[in-house]
A and B are shown apart, each in its own frame.
Chain A
Amino acid sequence: MSLYPLFARPRTVQQAAQVLESMSSGVVVIAGGQELMPHVNHGVLQPEVYVDINALADLKGIREDDGLVSIGALTVHRDTFSDPLVAEKLPLLVEAMKLIGGGRQVHNRATMGGNIVAMHPLYDVVPVLLTLEAQVEVVRGAETRRTSLKELMADPRHGLGSEAILIRVLVAPMAADAGFAYEKLKSSGGAYGSANAAVALTVADGVIASLRLVIGAVADRLVDASEALAFCIGQSWSDALASKVEHCCAGLIDQPLSDHQGDGEWRKAMAGVVAQRAMGRAVARAVAQEGR
Protein backbone atom coordinates (compact mmCIF):
# COMPACT_ATOMS: atom_id res chain seq x y z
CA MET A 1 0.00 0.00 0.00
CA SER A 2 1.46 3.26 -1.07
CA LEU A 3 0.24 6.79 -1.36
CA TYR A 4 2.64 7.51 -4.19
CA PRO A 5 2.87 4.52 -6.50
CA LEU A 6 5.38 4.12 -9.28
CA PHE A 7 4.61 3.56 -12.91
CA ALA A 8 6.29 1.61 -15.68
CA ARG A 9 5.46 1.42 -19.33
CA PRO A 10 7.55 -1.40 -20.78
CA ARG A 11 7.86 -1.58 -24.55
CA THR A 12 8.39 -5.30 -24.94
CA VAL A 13 7.04 -8.38 -23.27
CA GLN A 14 10.55 -9.22 -22.17
CA GLN A 15 10.93 -5.85 -20.50
CA ALA A 16 7.56 -6.22 -18.83
CA ALA A 17 8.41 -9.68 -17.57
CA GLN A 18 11.66 -8.39 -16.17
CA VAL A 19 9.97 -5.55 -14.33
CA LEU A 20 7.53 -7.95 -12.78
CA GLU A 21 10.27 -10.33 -11.84
CA SER A 22 12.29 -7.59 -10.19
CA MET A 23 9.48 -6.59 -7.86
CA SER A 24 8.54 -8.51 -4.77
CA SER A 25 5.01 -7.30 -4.01
CA GLY A 26 2.51 -4.54 -4.55
CA VAL A 27 2.87 -4.59 -8.30
CA VAL A 28 -0.08 -4.81 -10.65
CA VAL A 29 -0.36 -5.13 -14.36
CA ILE A 30 -2.84 -2.71 -15.87
CA ALA A 31 -4.52 -3.05 -19.25
CA GLY A 32 -7.87 -1.29 -19.75
CA GLY A 33 -8.21 -0.58 -16.04
CA GLN A 34 -11.92 -1.39 -16.09
CA GLU A 35 -11.44 -3.94 -13.34
CA LEU A 36 -8.68 -2.34 -11.31
CA MET A 37 -9.78 1.27 -11.26
CA PRO A 38 -13.03 0.84 -9.29
CA HIS A 39 -10.95 -0.73 -6.52
CA VAL A 40 -8.24 1.91 -6.77
CA ASN A 41 -10.82 4.69 -6.68
CA HIS A 42 -12.26 3.35 -3.47
CA GLY A 43 -8.95 2.83 -1.80
CA VAL A 44 -9.54 -0.92 -1.57
CA LEU A 45 -6.48 -1.41 -3.73
CA GLN A 46 -3.45 0.84 -3.47
CA PRO A 47 -0.78 -0.66 -5.69
CA GLU A 48 2.85 0.29 -5.21
CA VAL A 49 3.71 -0.14 -8.85
CA TYR A 50 1.59 -0.11 -11.97
CA VAL A 51 2.96 -1.91 -14.97
CA ASP A 52 1.14 -0.58 -18.01
CA ILE A 53 1.10 -3.24 -20.71
CA ASN A 54 -0.71 -1.18 -23.33
CA ALA A 55 2.44 -0.67 -25.37
CA LEU A 56 3.10 -4.39 -25.84
CA ALA A 57 2.54 -5.15 -29.52
CA ASP A 58 2.63 -8.91 -28.94
CA LEU A 59 -0.60 -8.69 -26.97
CA LYS A 60 -2.57 -7.07 -29.76
CA GLY A 61 -4.61 -8.32 -32.63
CA ILE A 62 -6.69 -11.25 -33.73
CA ARG A 63 -5.34 -13.70 -36.28
CA GLU A 64 -5.28 -17.30 -37.35
CA ASP A 65 -2.28 -19.17 -36.05
CA ASP A 66 -1.66 -22.75 -36.93
CA GLY A 67 -5.31 -23.51 -37.31
CA LEU A 68 -6.24 -21.76 -34.07
CA VAL A 69 -7.87 -18.39 -33.56
CA SER A 70 -5.43 -16.25 -31.60
CA ILE A 71 -6.86 -13.32 -29.66
CA GLY A 72 -4.34 -10.95 -28.11
CA ALA A 73 -4.82 -10.20 -24.42
CA LEU A 74 -5.18 -6.48 -25.11
CA THR A 75 -8.05 -6.91 -27.55
CA VAL A 76 -11.01 -4.93 -26.28
CA HIS A 77 -14.40 -6.62 -26.11
CA ARG A 78 -15.85 -4.67 -28.94
CA ASP A 79 -13.03 -5.55 -31.30
CA THR A 80 -13.42 -9.18 -30.38
CA PHE A 81 -17.14 -9.49 -30.90
CA SER A 82 -17.13 -7.47 -34.09
CA ASP A 83 -14.19 -9.29 -35.65
CA PRO A 84 -15.09 -11.25 -38.81
CA LEU A 85 -12.73 -14.13 -38.05
CA VAL A 86 -14.14 -14.54 -34.55
CA ALA A 87 -17.65 -14.27 -35.94
CA GLU A 88 -16.95 -17.04 -38.39
CA LYS A 89 -14.98 -19.40 -36.20
CA LEU A 90 -16.19 -18.66 -32.68
CA PRO A 91 -19.80 -17.51 -32.90
CA LEU A 92 -20.44 -18.66 -29.33
CA LEU A 93 -17.90 -16.15 -28.06
CA VAL A 94 -19.58 -13.37 -30.01
CA GLU A 95 -22.99 -14.27 -28.64
CA ALA A 96 -21.71 -14.18 -25.06
CA MET A 97 -19.57 -11.10 -25.33
CA LYS A 98 -22.32 -8.98 -26.77
CA LEU A 99 -24.15 -9.59 -23.50
CA ILE A 100 -21.36 -8.13 -21.35
CA GLY A 101 -22.65 -5.32 -19.19
CA GLY A 102 -21.32 -1.85 -18.58
CA GLY A 103 -22.40 -0.52 -21.95
CA ARG A 104 -20.38 0.50 -24.97
CA GLN A 105 -18.01 2.46 -22.79
CA VAL A 106 -16.85 -0.78 -21.18
CA HIS A 107 -16.91 -2.75 -24.44
CA ASN A 108 -14.58 -0.12 -25.87
CA ARG A 109 -11.91 -0.47 -23.18
CA ALA A 110 -12.19 -3.73 -21.29
CA THR A 111 -9.73 -6.33 -22.55
CA MET A 112 -9.80 -10.05 -23.07
CA GLY A 113 -6.79 -10.47 -20.79
CA GLY A 114 -8.29 -8.38 -18.01
CA ASN A 115 -11.53 -10.28 -18.13
CA ILE A 116 -9.78 -13.64 -17.91
CA VAL A 117 -7.36 -12.62 -15.18
CA ALA A 118 -10.15 -11.08 -13.11
CA MET A 119 -11.55 -14.65 -12.86
CA HIS A 120 -14.79 -13.19 -11.62
CA PRO A 121 -17.47 -15.85 -11.26
CA LEU A 122 -20.18 -13.57 -12.66
CA TYR A 123 -18.35 -12.70 -15.89
CA ASP A 124 -19.16 -14.01 -19.32
CA VAL A 125 -15.98 -14.67 -21.25
CA VAL A 126 -14.37 -17.52 -19.34
CA PRO A 127 -17.40 -19.85 -19.41
CA VAL A 128 -17.23 -19.72 -23.20
CA LEU A 129 -13.47 -20.17 -23.35
CA LEU A 130 -13.72 -23.21 -21.08
CA THR A 131 -16.50 -24.61 -23.20
CA LEU A 132 -14.29 -24.22 -26.24
CA GLU A 133 -11.28 -25.67 -24.38
CA ALA A 134 -9.15 -22.61 -24.99
CA GLN A 135 -5.39 -22.48 -24.56
CA VAL A 136 -3.56 -19.50 -23.13
CA GLU A 137 -0.03 -18.26 -23.62
CA VAL A 138 1.60 -16.90 -20.49
CA VAL A 139 4.97 -15.26 -19.95
CA ARG A 140 6.67 -15.37 -16.59
CA GLY A 141 10.25 -14.22 -16.32
CA ALA A 142 12.08 -15.69 -19.26
CA GLU A 143 9.61 -18.51 -19.74
CA THR A 144 6.74 -18.60 -22.23
CA ARG A 145 4.23 -21.30 -21.55
CA ARG A 146 1.14 -22.52 -23.31
CA THR A 147 -1.44 -24.30 -21.18
CA SER A 148 -5.10 -24.95 -21.20
CA LEU A 149 -7.17 -22.23 -19.59
CA LYS A 150 -8.71 -24.88 -17.41
CA GLU A 151 -5.36 -25.82 -15.95
CA LEU A 152 -4.44 -22.20 -15.42
CA MET A 153 -7.67 -21.49 -13.57
CA ALA A 154 -7.06 -24.40 -11.27
CA ASP A 155 -3.58 -23.18 -10.33
CA PRO A 156 -3.78 -20.85 -7.32
CA ARG A 157 -0.23 -19.70 -7.99
CA HIS A 158 -0.68 -18.64 -11.59
CA GLY A 159 0.66 -15.21 -10.65
CA LEU A 160 -1.15 -13.48 -13.52
CA GLY A 161 -1.32 -9.75 -13.10
CA SER A 162 1.55 -9.53 -10.64
CA GLU A 163 4.21 -11.99 -11.75
CA ALA A 164 3.01 -13.27 -15.08
CA ILE A 165 1.50 -11.81 -18.22
CA LEU A 166 -1.20 -13.29 -20.34
CA ILE A 167 -0.15 -12.86 -23.96
CA ARG A 168 -3.03 -14.32 -25.89
CA VAL A 169 -5.81 -16.84 -25.99
CA LEU A 170 -5.88 -19.58 -28.59
CA VAL A 171 -9.10 -21.29 -29.50
CA ALA A 172 -9.78 -24.04 -31.98
CA PRO A 173 -12.47 -23.04 -34.47
CA MET A 174 -15.89 -24.42 -33.72
CA ALA A 175 -17.17 -27.06 -36.10
CA ALA A 176 -19.07 -25.41 -38.94
CA ASP A 177 -22.16 -27.44 -38.08
CA ALA A 178 -21.88 -26.96 -34.33
CA GLY A 179 -24.87 -26.00 -32.32
CA PHE A 180 -24.14 -23.43 -29.67
CA ALA A 181 -25.79 -21.00 -27.31
CA TYR A 182 -25.00 -18.69 -24.44
CA GLU A 183 -27.80 -18.22 -21.97
CA LYS A 184 -27.49 -15.37 -19.48
CA LEU A 185 -30.07 -14.79 -16.80
CA LYS A 186 -29.91 -11.42 -15.12
CA SER A 187 -32.39 -9.68 -12.87
CA SER A 188 -32.43 -6.42 -14.79
CA GLY A 189 -30.70 -4.54 -17.56
CA GLY A 190 -27.92 -3.29 -15.32
CA ALA A 191 -27.39 -6.43 -13.27
CA TYR A 192 -24.57 -8.92 -13.55
CA GLY A 193 -25.53 -12.47 -14.43
CA SER A 194 -27.32 -14.63 -11.88
CA ALA A 195 -26.77 -17.80 -13.88
CA ASN A 196 -25.02 -18.33 -17.20
CA ALA A 197 -24.52 -21.33 -19.41
CA ALA A 198 -22.34 -21.75 -22.47
CA VAL A 199 -22.81 -24.77 -24.66
CA ALA A 200 -21.30 -26.10 -27.86
CA LEU A 201 -22.44 -29.39 -29.29
CA THR A 202 -22.83 -31.36 -32.45
CA VAL A 203 -25.78 -33.32 -33.71
CA ALA A 204 -25.59 -36.22 -36.10
CA ASP A 205 -28.63 -37.92 -37.49
CA GLY A 206 -30.83 -36.03 -35.10
CA VAL A 207 -29.06 -37.11 -31.96
CA ILE A 208 -26.50 -35.31 -29.85
CA ALA A 209 -23.04 -36.47 -30.87
CA SER A 210 -20.79 -34.37 -28.71
CA LEU A 211 -21.37 -31.81 -26.02
CA ARG A 212 -19.56 -29.26 -23.90
CA LEU A 213 -21.38 -27.14 -21.34
CA VAL A 214 -20.05 -24.77 -18.70
CA ILE A 215 -22.14 -23.00 -16.08
CA GLY A 216 -21.18 -19.67 -14.55
CA ALA A 217 -22.41 -17.09 -12.04
CA VAL A 218 -23.96 -19.59 -9.66
CA ALA A 219 -20.95 -20.57 -7.59
CA ASP A 220 -17.49 -19.27 -6.73
CA ARG A 221 -16.05 -21.39 -9.49
CA LEU A 222 -17.34 -22.14 -12.93
CA VAL A 223 -18.78 -25.61 -13.30
CA ASP A 224 -17.95 -27.75 -16.30
CA ALA A 225 -21.01 -29.97 -16.66
CA SER A 226 -19.86 -31.73 -19.84
CA GLU A 227 -19.00 -35.04 -18.21
CA ALA A 228 -22.07 -35.13 -16.03
CA LEU A 229 -24.16 -34.61 -19.16
CA ALA A 230 -22.62 -37.53 -21.01
CA PHE A 231 -25.99 -39.27 -20.79
CA CYS A 232 -27.20 -36.88 -23.48
CA ILE A 233 -24.90 -38.35 -26.10
CA GLY A 234 -26.89 -40.40 -28.53
CA GLN A 235 -30.15 -38.83 -27.42
CA SER A 236 -32.43 -36.57 -29.34
CA TRP A 237 -33.71 -33.44 -27.69
CA SER A 238 -37.02 -33.82 -25.92
CA ASP A 239 -38.87 -32.35 -22.98
CA ALA A 240 -37.87 -35.35 -20.95
CA LEU A 241 -34.20 -34.90 -21.77
CA ALA A 242 -34.48 -31.17 -21.05
CA SER A 243 -35.77 -31.80 -17.58
CA LYS A 244 -33.08 -34.41 -16.98
CA VAL A 245 -30.45 -31.85 -18.02
CA GLU A 246 -32.01 -29.25 -15.77
CA HIS A 247 -32.07 -31.58 -12.81
CA CYS A 248 -28.54 -32.82 -13.41
CA CYS A 249 -27.04 -29.33 -13.72
CA ALA A 250 -28.80 -27.94 -10.67
CA GLY A 251 -27.50 -30.95 -8.80
CA LEU A 252 -23.93 -30.09 -9.69
CA ILE A 253 -24.05 -26.89 -7.67
CA ASP A 254 -23.41 -27.77 -4.07
CA GLN A 255 -22.32 -24.40 -2.77
CA PRO A 256 -24.29 -21.79 -4.66
CA LEU A 257 -23.55 -18.08 -4.34
CA SER A 258 -26.06 -16.08 -2.37
CA ASP A 259 -25.66 -12.38 -3.05
CA HIS A 260 -27.43 -9.33 -4.47
CA GLN A 261 -28.05 -11.32 -7.64
CA GLY A 262 -30.27 -13.76 -5.76
CA ASP A 263 -30.26 -16.38 -3.03
CA GLY A 264 -28.56 -19.75 -3.16
CA GLU A 265 -31.56 -21.98 -3.59
CA TRP A 266 -32.70 -20.00 -6.57
CA ARG A 267 -29.21 -19.85 -8.09
CA LYS A 268 -28.90 -23.61 -7.87
CA ALA A 269 -32.22 -24.06 -9.61
CA MET A 270 -31.32 -21.44 -12.22
CA ALA A 271 -28.14 -23.32 -13.07
CA GLY A 272 -30.45 -26.03 -14.32
CA VAL A 273 -32.76 -23.65 -16.14
CA VAL A 274 -30.04 -21.82 -18.09
CA ALA A 275 -28.25 -25.06 -18.93
CA GLN A 276 -31.41 -26.61 -20.26
CA ARG A 277 -32.40 -23.52 -22.21
CA ALA A 278 -28.94 -23.08 -23.70
CA MET A 279 -28.88 -26.68 -24.75
CA GLY A 280 -32.33 -26.52 -26.26
CA ARG A 281 -31.32 -23.55 -28.39
CA ALA A 282 -28.00 -25.15 -29.34
CA VAL A 283 -29.64 -28.36 -30.46
CA ALA A 284 -32.19 -26.45 -32.49
CA ARG A 285 -29.37 -24.57 -34.21
CA ALA A 286 -27.45 -27.73 -34.93
CA VAL A 287 -30.50 -29.51 -36.26
CA ALA A 288 -31.19 -26.55 -38.53
CA GLN A 289 -27.59 -26.77 -39.77
CA GLU A 290 -27.92 -30.47 -40.36
CA GLY A 291 -31.13 -29.97 -42.29
CA ARG A 292 -29.40 -27.62 -44.69
Chain B
Amino acid sequence: MTAEIIVVTSGKGGVGKTTTSASLATGLAMAGKKVAVIDFDVGLRNLDLIMGCERRVVYDFVNVVNGEATIKQALIKDKRHDNLFVLAASQTRDKDALTQEGVEKVLDDLSNDGFDYVVCDSPAGIEKGAHLAMYFADHAVVVVNPEVSSVRDSDRILGLLSSKTRRAERGEGAITQHLLLTRYNPGRVALGEMLSVKDVEEILGISVVGVIPESENVLAASNAGVPVILDDNSHAGQAYRDTVARILGEERPLRFTEVARKGFLQRVFGG
Protein backbone atom coordinates (compact mmCIF):
# COMPACT_ATOMS: atom_id res chain seq x y z
CA MET B 1 0.00 0.00 0.00
CA THR B 2 1.37 3.38 -0.91
CA ALA B 3 -0.04 6.61 0.37
CA GLU B 4 -1.86 8.88 -2.06
CA ILE B 5 -0.21 12.28 -2.08
CA ILE B 6 -2.50 15.28 -2.51
CA VAL B 7 -1.08 18.75 -2.97
CA VAL B 8 -3.24 21.76 -2.20
CA THR B 9 -1.86 24.56 -4.31
CA SER B 10 -2.82 27.79 -6.10
CA GLY B 11 -0.01 30.06 -7.15
CA LYS B 12 -1.53 32.99 -5.34
CA GLY B 13 -1.41 33.52 -1.59
CA GLY B 14 -4.39 34.08 0.66
CA VAL B 15 -6.86 32.16 -1.49
CA GLY B 16 -7.61 29.45 1.07
CA LYS B 17 -4.99 26.72 0.62
CA THR B 18 -4.31 26.23 4.30
CA THR B 19 -7.99 26.42 5.17
CA THR B 20 -8.62 23.78 2.52
CA SER B 21 -5.72 21.56 3.58
CA ALA B 22 -6.99 21.47 7.15
CA SER B 23 -10.56 20.69 6.15
CA LEU B 24 -9.58 18.17 3.48
CA ALA B 25 -7.27 16.29 5.84
CA THR B 26 -9.91 16.29 8.55
CA GLY B 27 -12.62 15.20 6.12
CA LEU B 28 -10.52 12.30 4.87
CA ALA B 29 -9.83 11.28 8.47
CA MET B 30 -13.57 11.44 9.22
CA ALA B 31 -14.03 9.01 6.33
CA GLY B 32 -11.80 6.58 8.22
CA LYS B 33 -8.57 7.16 6.33
CA LYS B 34 -5.20 7.47 7.99
CA VAL B 35 -4.04 10.94 7.07
CA ALA B 36 -1.03 13.17 7.51
CA VAL B 37 -1.14 16.84 6.61
CA ILE B 38 2.15 18.64 6.02
CA ASP B 39 2.79 22.38 6.07
CA PHE B 40 5.29 23.19 3.31
CA ASP B 41 5.19 26.91 4.03
CA VAL B 42 8.56 27.14 5.75
CA GLY B 43 8.88 30.44 7.57
CA LEU B 44 5.16 31.18 7.48
CA ARG B 45 3.81 28.27 9.39
CA ASN B 46 0.11 28.44 10.14
CA LEU B 47 -1.46 25.08 9.40
CA ASP B 48 -0.83 24.10 13.04
CA LEU B 49 -2.83 27.15 14.15
CA ILE B 50 -5.79 26.24 11.99
CA MET B 51 -5.59 22.64 13.16
CA GLY B 52 -5.42 23.90 16.75
CA CYS B 53 -2.20 22.13 17.66
CA GLU B 54 0.29 25.00 17.66
CA ARG B 55 1.20 24.52 21.30
CA ARG B 56 2.17 20.95 20.72
CA VAL B 57 4.73 21.55 17.96
CA VAL B 58 8.06 20.24 19.22
CA TYR B 59 9.75 19.10 16.05
CA ASP B 60 8.91 20.25 12.56
CA PHE B 61 9.25 19.21 8.93
CA VAL B 62 12.74 20.69 8.59
CA ASN B 63 13.92 18.85 11.70
CA VAL B 64 12.82 15.60 10.09
CA VAL B 65 14.41 16.43 6.74
CA ASN B 66 17.68 17.27 8.52
CA GLY B 67 17.58 14.07 10.53
CA GLU B 68 17.24 15.96 13.82
CA ALA B 69 14.02 14.14 14.66
CA THR B 70 12.23 11.06 13.42
CA ILE B 71 8.98 11.37 11.59
CA LYS B 72 7.22 9.68 14.53
CA GLN B 73 8.56 12.30 16.93
CA ALA B 74 7.48 15.15 14.70
CA LEU B 75 3.96 14.03 13.82
CA ILE B 76 1.35 15.64 16.05
CA LYS B 77 -1.73 13.55 16.64
CA ASP B 78 -4.96 15.48 16.14
CA LYS B 79 -6.96 15.82 19.32
CA ARG B 80 -10.24 14.98 17.63
CA HIS B 81 -9.26 12.14 15.27
CA ASP B 82 -6.60 9.65 16.21
CA ASN B 83 -6.01 8.69 12.57
CA LEU B 84 -5.04 12.28 11.68
CA PHE B 85 -1.56 13.74 12.09
CA VAL B 86 -0.01 17.14 11.48
CA LEU B 87 3.57 17.82 10.44
CA ALA B 88 4.22 21.50 11.11
CA ALA B 89 6.45 23.79 9.09
CA SER B 90 9.44 25.40 10.63
CA GLN B 91 8.78 28.97 11.63
CA THR B 92 12.35 30.11 11.75
CA ARG B 93 14.33 28.28 9.12
CA ASP B 94 15.04 29.72 5.74
CA LYS B 95 13.14 28.55 2.72
CA ASP B 96 15.98 26.50 1.34
CA ALA B 97 15.90 24.13 4.27
CA LEU B 98 13.77 21.64 2.34
CA THR B 99 15.37 19.44 -0.29
CA GLN B 100 13.79 17.19 -2.84
CA GLU B 101 15.50 14.09 -1.41
CA GLY B 102 14.48 15.08 2.11
CA VAL B 103 10.84 15.51 1.11
CA GLU B 104 10.86 12.24 -0.79
CA LYS B 105 12.20 10.40 2.25
CA VAL B 106 9.52 11.83 4.53
CA LEU B 107 6.78 10.87 2.07
CA ASP B 108 8.22 7.37 1.67
CA ASP B 109 8.36 6.95 5.45
CA LEU B 110 4.71 7.99 5.77
CA SER B 111 3.78 5.58 3.03
CA ASN B 112 5.59 2.76 4.83
CA ASP B 113 3.87 3.72 8.07
CA GLY B 114 0.53 2.83 6.51
CA PHE B 115 -0.84 6.29 5.79
CA ASP B 116 -3.62 6.34 3.19
CA TYR B 117 -3.31 10.04 2.34
CA VAL B 118 -0.70 12.72 2.72
CA VAL B 119 -2.05 16.24 2.20
CA CYS B 120 0.63 18.78 1.27
CA ASP B 121 -0.26 22.40 2.04
CA SER B 122 1.74 24.38 -0.52
CA PRO B 123 3.18 27.84 -0.01
CA ALA B 124 2.22 30.54 -2.49
CA GLY B 125 4.23 31.19 -5.60
CA ILE B 126 5.83 28.95 -8.16
CA GLU B 127 9.24 28.88 -6.55
CA LYS B 128 11.03 26.06 -4.82
CA GLY B 129 8.66 25.53 -1.91
CA ALA B 130 5.61 25.25 -4.13
CA HIS B 131 7.55 23.06 -6.53
CA LEU B 132 8.55 20.67 -3.75
CA ALA B 133 4.99 20.49 -2.45
CA MET B 134 3.64 19.45 -5.85
CA TYR B 135 6.52 17.39 -7.17
CA PHE B 136 5.56 14.02 -5.65
CA ALA B 137 1.79 14.48 -5.83
CA ASP B 138 -0.69 12.00 -7.29
CA HIS B 139 -3.61 14.42 -6.95
CA ALA B 140 -3.81 18.17 -6.85
CA VAL B 141 -6.46 20.41 -5.41
CA VAL B 142 -6.03 23.75 -7.15
CA VAL B 143 -7.63 26.44 -5.03
CA VAL B 144 -8.97 29.38 -6.96
CA ASN B 145 -10.95 32.49 -6.03
CA PRO B 146 -13.52 33.96 -8.41
CA GLU B 147 -11.32 36.75 -9.66
CA VAL B 148 -9.27 37.15 -12.79
CA SER B 149 -5.81 37.25 -11.23
CA SER B 150 -6.42 34.12 -9.20
CA VAL B 151 -7.76 32.27 -12.23
CA ARG B 152 -4.71 33.28 -14.22
CA ASP B 153 -2.37 31.96 -11.53
CA SER B 154 -4.31 28.72 -11.29
CA ASP B 155 -3.97 28.27 -15.01
CA ARG B 156 -0.22 28.59 -14.63
CA ILE B 157 -0.26 26.05 -11.82
CA LEU B 158 -2.35 23.61 -13.85
CA GLY B 159 0.29 23.83 -16.56
CA LEU B 160 3.09 23.17 -14.11
CA LEU B 161 1.22 20.23 -12.60
CA SER B 162 1.07 18.57 -15.97
CA SER B 163 4.76 19.04 -16.67
CA LYS B 164 6.77 19.66 -13.51
CA THR B 165 5.81 16.72 -11.32
CA ARG B 166 7.47 13.36 -10.86
CA ARG B 167 4.54 11.60 -12.48
CA ALA B 168 4.79 13.84 -15.53
CA GLU B 169 8.55 13.46 -15.75
CA ARG B 170 8.34 9.68 -15.50
CA GLY B 171 5.39 9.53 -17.88
CA GLU B 172 3.32 7.77 -15.21
CA GLY B 173 0.09 9.40 -16.30
CA ALA B 174 -1.33 12.75 -15.46
CA ILE B 175 -1.92 13.71 -11.88
CA THR B 176 -5.60 14.09 -11.01
CA GLN B 177 -6.52 17.75 -10.98
CA HIS B 178 -9.36 19.02 -8.81
CA LEU B 179 -10.37 22.63 -9.14
CA LEU B 180 -11.78 24.06 -5.92
CA LEU B 181 -13.45 27.45 -6.08
CA THR B 182 -13.36 29.13 -2.67
CA ARG B 183 -14.49 32.42 -1.16
CA TYR B 184 -17.43 32.36 -3.55
CA ASN B 185 -19.95 35.10 -3.02
CA PRO B 186 -23.09 34.50 -5.12
CA GLY B 187 -24.37 38.01 -4.42
CA ARG B 188 -21.27 39.64 -5.84
CA VAL B 189 -21.32 37.24 -8.76
CA ALA B 190 -24.89 38.33 -9.51
CA LEU B 191 -23.73 41.96 -9.46
CA GLY B 192 -21.00 41.09 -11.94
CA GLU B 193 -18.25 41.87 -9.42
CA MET B 194 -16.91 38.34 -9.38
CA LEU B 195 -16.53 35.54 -11.86
CA SER B 196 -19.19 32.86 -11.77
CA VAL B 197 -18.59 29.12 -11.44
CA LYS B 198 -19.30 28.83 -15.13
CA ASP B 199 -16.84 31.62 -16.03
CA VAL B 200 -14.06 29.97 -14.05
CA GLU B 201 -14.77 26.53 -15.49
CA GLU B 202 -14.84 27.97 -18.98
CA ILE B 203 -11.61 29.92 -18.67
CA LEU B 204 -9.71 27.03 -17.12
CA GLY B 205 -11.34 24.33 -19.19
CA ILE B 206 -12.02 22.01 -16.24
CA SER B 207 -14.98 21.66 -13.94
CA VAL B 208 -14.94 22.37 -10.24
CA VAL B 209 -14.84 19.65 -7.59
CA GLY B 210 -16.48 22.02 -5.16
CA VAL B 211 -17.48 25.59 -4.44
CA ILE B 212 -16.86 26.94 -0.95
CA PRO B 213 -18.86 30.06 -0.18
CA GLU B 214 -17.28 33.11 1.42
CA SER B 215 -18.25 32.78 5.05
CA GLU B 216 -17.48 34.49 8.33
CA ASN B 217 -17.43 31.08 9.97
CA VAL B 218 -14.11 30.34 8.29
CA LEU B 219 -12.26 33.03 10.20
CA ALA B 220 -14.07 32.14 13.41
CA ALA B 221 -13.13 28.49 12.98
CA SER B 222 -9.50 29.37 12.23
CA ASN B 223 -9.29 31.51 15.31
CA ALA B 224 -10.71 28.68 17.38
CA GLY B 225 -8.26 26.20 15.87
CA VAL B 226 -11.06 24.05 14.50
CA PRO B 227 -11.05 23.17 10.79
CA VAL B 228 -14.23 24.67 9.36
CA ILE B 229 -15.36 21.29 8.00
CA LEU B 230 -16.23 20.43 11.61
CA ASP B 231 -18.63 23.37 11.77
CA ASP B 232 -21.82 21.62 10.70
CA ASN B 233 -23.86 24.77 10.81
CA SER B 234 -21.80 26.75 8.37
CA HIS B 235 -22.29 26.58 4.65
CA ALA B 236 -18.53 26.58 4.18
CA GLY B 237 -18.23 23.52 6.41
CA GLN B 238 -20.99 21.69 4.55
CA ALA B 239 -19.46 22.62 1.20
CA TYR B 240 -16.11 21.20 2.35
CA ARG B 241 -17.89 17.95 3.33
CA ASP B 242 -19.38 17.72 -0.13
CA THR B 243 -16.01 18.39 -1.67
CA VAL B 244 -14.22 15.67 0.28
CA ALA B 245 -16.99 13.22 -0.62
CA ARG B 246 -16.55 14.09 -4.29
CA ILE B 247 -12.80 13.65 -4.09
CA LEU B 248 -13.50 10.20 -2.65
CA GLY B 249 -15.64 9.45 -5.68
CA GLU B 250 -19.17 10.27 -4.52
CA GLU B 251 -21.46 12.40 -6.66
CA ARG B 252 -23.10 15.34 -4.97
CA PRO B 253 -24.80 18.40 -6.45
CA LEU B 254 -23.24 21.83 -5.90
CA ARG B 255 -24.80 23.86 -3.09
CA PHE B 256 -24.61 27.49 -1.98
CA THR B 257 -23.79 28.80 -5.43
CA GLU B 258 -27.02 30.79 -5.87
CA VAL B 259 -28.09 33.96 -4.14
CA ALA B 260 -30.06 32.97 -1.04
CA ARG B 261 -33.79 33.01 -1.70
CA LYS B 262 -35.63 36.17 -0.85
CA GLY B 263 -37.43 36.47 2.45
CA PHE B 264 -41.20 36.03 2.77
CA LEU B 265 -42.07 39.71 2.62
CA GLN B 266 -39.93 40.34 -0.41
CA ARG B 267 -41.58 37.40 -2.13
CA VAL B 268 -45.02 38.73 -1.39
CA PHE B 269 -44.32 42.31 -2.31
CA GLY B 270 -41.88 41.64 -5.10
CA GLY B 271 -38.71 43.65 -5.65
A-B complex is real: no
Residues of chain B touching chain A, judged by Cβ–Cβ distance below 8 Å, are none
